[in-house]
Amino acid sequence: MKPTLKSFLTKLTPGGASRPGQVRLEGVAKSSLDMGRNRVVATGAIFSLAFLAVGWRLIDVSVMQPNLTRARHAMPVSALATRAEIVDRNGVVLATRRPIQSLFADPSLIAKPDRLVRRLSRLLPGLKKTSRRALLRRLSDRQRRFVWIARDVPAAIAERIVAMKEPGLEFRREWRRTWPQGAVVGHIVGFTDVDGRGIVGIERKFDRRLNDNTAPLRLSIDIRVQMALRDVIGETVRRFRAKGGSALMMDVRTGELLGMVSWPDFEPSAPGKATVSARFNRNTLGVYEMGSTFKIFTIAMAYDSGLYKEGDRVDARRPIRIRKFSIRDYHAKKRWLSIREVFIYSSNIGSAKIALRAGRQRLQSFLRKLGLMQRPPLELPEVGAPLVPRHWRPVHTMTVAFGHGMAVSPIQLAAAVAGIANGGTWRAATLMKQDAAALPAGRRVVSRATSLRMRSLLRQVVEKGTGRKAEAPGYRVGGKTGTAEKAGRRGYRRNKLLSSFVGVFPIDDPRYVVLVTVDEPKGNKSTHGYATGGWVAAPAVRAIILRTAPILGLRPSRENVDGVPAVQPNTKPGTPPGNSPARRTAPAQPDKRASLAGAGGHEAE
C-alpha cells in the first residue's frame, strides 16, 4: 500500500499517537532544534541586557549625576561674562573682561591618570610638584565627574592639548577680569576672585552694581593725573629712601578725587605676590598725626569764631609746661606773635594757647564739621576711622591744635583743607564723577571772609615761610608743611618722621588740593640732611602741579612765569626752608589708642 502523509506523521509521533499539525522530531534532528532555540534565547538576553545598561547609563548621567551634564552641556555663564567695565572720568578703561579657555576633566573617562598628569605637566608650567600630586589624587577618584585642571590656558598650548586626543579632557570658554592700567590704579579699583566676585576696592564696593548693570561705572579719577602722582611719589620715596608715601589731588569745588596713589603699590592681576605694605592704602586706611597741617584748622577756628581779630597777639615768649611735659617752638621767636605770625612761623606755643582759649567743645565741634572726627564716607571698603582721645583733657586740646594726639587719614585732611579754601563749603571726598549741575549740598564750615584770610596765610607760607619749595612758576600755590615724629612704645622717635605738604592752587581762585605724605624719609646732601615736609614733600607737590596743571587746562599766570618767586627767599645757603621737628622733654600721652596710631608725634613745622 502506498504510504500517505498521514501515516508518515503517525510514525514520527511517539507511541503512534498523532494529531493534525503536530510534528515530533527524534534523535539528531531534535537536538539540533533545541540548540538553535537556546542560542536565540541567549542572544536576545544579551541584547536586552546591553540595552538596559545603556538606558541606565543615560539615566545616571542625566538624572542621577547632574553635575556632569551641567559641566559639559549646561555650565552656568560666569558673572564675569557680563560684569560691567570701570572707566575713568574720560572713558579710559580701568577694568574690563576678556575671554579665556579653561581646561577641565571627567575622571570617570580617564584610564591612566598618572600618564595624563605627566603629559599635562610638560605643557602647563603652572602645575608644580605639589599641584601635580593633588591633581593626580583628584583624577584617580572615579566617583568624580568634574575636576578643574587649568584656567586661562594660552591658545597655542590649548591646541597641543587638543591634539593629545585624551578622553575626558575638555575646554570651557570663560571670562577673566583684567585691569589694563595695572598697578597705577590698584588701590582704587581693587580686584576680583576667579569667579568675578569683588574682593578689594571699587570692585568690592560696587560688586552688585557691576554684575547687575552692563553700563560702565565712571570714576572721578583722571588716569593722566594718576600716572603723574605715581611717578612723583615713587621717585620721592626712592630719593629719600623712605618707607612709603602717598599723594592725592582733589577738586575743591566738587570733592572729586582726580588721583590717589599709595606707594608701594601692587598689580591687581597678581595680588598674591604683593606684600602687606604694598596692599595697604595709605590714603584711606592709614591714620596719622599730621603735624602742622592741623594749624590750618586751629587758625581758621580762631578767625571764624570771632575770638581773635587780625591785630590780636599771642604770648609765645616761653614754652608751655604741663607737669613734666613741655610744648616748645623749634625756631622760637620768644615774643608776642600775631595770629598771622603764629601760622607763618608755625608756632606750637601760639596754636596751643589759641585752642586752649577756644576750649575743648568749640575745637571738637569745628573739627567735626570738617569731617575729622568720624570715618569718611568714601566709596571704598578700605577706609579707616580717625583716632581721637577717649578722655579729652586740656592737654589734648593744646596738642591737637598743632597736629598731635589725634590721627586722621590723608583723605580726611584733604577734604577739610578744601572746605577751608574753597569759600567755606565742605564736601566729602568722592571717587565718583559728579554732575556739575547737580552737586550734592555741601556744609558751611567757615565764612567766605575767613576762607579769604586763610588763602592769604597759605600763600604767605609758600612765599616766605616753610613751604617755599612748593612754589610752581606760573601757578600761585598756597599751602602748609607738616612734619611729625612717629609714636613708639617709649614716646616719640626723633628719627622716624612723617613729612607732608598740603598745597592749594591757584590760591586766588582755588581749584585743586594736592597732598603728599612721605613716611620715614631720610635726608641727603641735597637737603643738608633735613627730612622735613619743607624739604621732602613740598618739592613733590611742586612737581605734581607743574605736570598736571597743563593737563587740566590751567594756563600759567603772568606772575612767576620766568620761575622767579614773587618774594625772594631770604635764607642763607644751608638753611632749611622748613623747621626741623620741635621736641618736648617728653611727649604728652593724650591717649594710649592715639599713641598707637602708627604715625605722628610732636610738631615739626
Cell matching residue 433: 564723577
- For the record, the C-alpha cell of 353 comes out as 594757647
Say if residue 413 is exposed, middle or buried (CB neighbours under 10 Å; 0-12, 13-18, 19+). buried
CA distance 172 to 465: 65
Residue carrying the nine cell digits 577756628:
301
Query: ∠ at Cα 362 (356, 364), nearest 5°?
Result: 95
Show Cβ contacts of residue 219 under 8 Å, excluding neighbours closer than 6 positions: 86, 87, 88, 89, 94, 188, 202, 431, 432, 433
44's grid cell = 536576545
Which 3 state secondary structure label does DSSP give 260?
Answer: strand
Active-site residue, selected from the candidate residues 102, 246, 262, 292: 292
Which runs of consecutive H residues, i.e. helices, occur in 100-222? 113-123, 129-139, 155-163, 186-189, 201-205, 207-212
Neighbours of 369 (CB within 10 A): 18
Cα gap 412→398, rounded to integer Å? 21
What is the C-alpha to C-alpha distance for residues 2 and 415, in angstroms, rounded to an integer? 131
Phi-psi region of 584 (alpha: psi -120 to 50; beta: other; left: phi over 0): beta
For residue 432, CA distances in Å to 101, 178, 190, 379, 429 come to: 34, 21, 15, 8, 9
Q: Is the dihedral of CA 107, 108, 113, 117 positive or negative?
A: negative
The SS3 call for residue 542 is helix
Q: DSSP per residue over 33-59, as a string?
A: HHHHHHHHHHHHHHHHHHHHHHHHHHH
Residue 456 among the catalytic residues: no
Query: Among all residues, which ones are annotated catalytic?
Result: 292
